[in-house]
Structure 1
Amino acid sequence: MAQTTAHESLAAYLESHPRMMGALFTMCLLLMQAGNVAANGASTNAGP
């Protein structure tokens, strides 16, 4: 029951603040890219 209330309150908040939806989407994209960069930087090359 508590999750439904929290979900409904988040939906109501985003309905009241539509620009926040774009900001959250942009943050998700940046976090996905940061994860890929971190994973790529952690790999090692043996070299010639």
Structure 2
Amino acid sequence: MDLEHARLVLRGEHGLAVDRGRIVREAVAVVLADLESRGDASILVRRLRGR
């Protein structure tokens, strides 16, 4: 899903009118929290390793 499509889905299906910058900031925060809590099992580590 590209960023603009995500923005439109958030607005249309969830009633959230947010800009692309906010989506990116929130997505980064979620990924970093996952890394902190799950470490080696985090989605970021798995994706960077190609799994």
- Band the TM-score falls in, shorter-chain normalisation: 0.3 to 0.5
Query: TM-score when scaled to structure 2?
Result: 0.43
Report which of the two structures shows the higher radius of gyration computed on alpha carbons.
Answer: 1
Query: TM-score when scaled to structure 1?
Result: 0.45
Higher relative contact order, chain-length normalized (CA < 8 Å, sep 6+): 2
Higher helix proportion, which one? 1
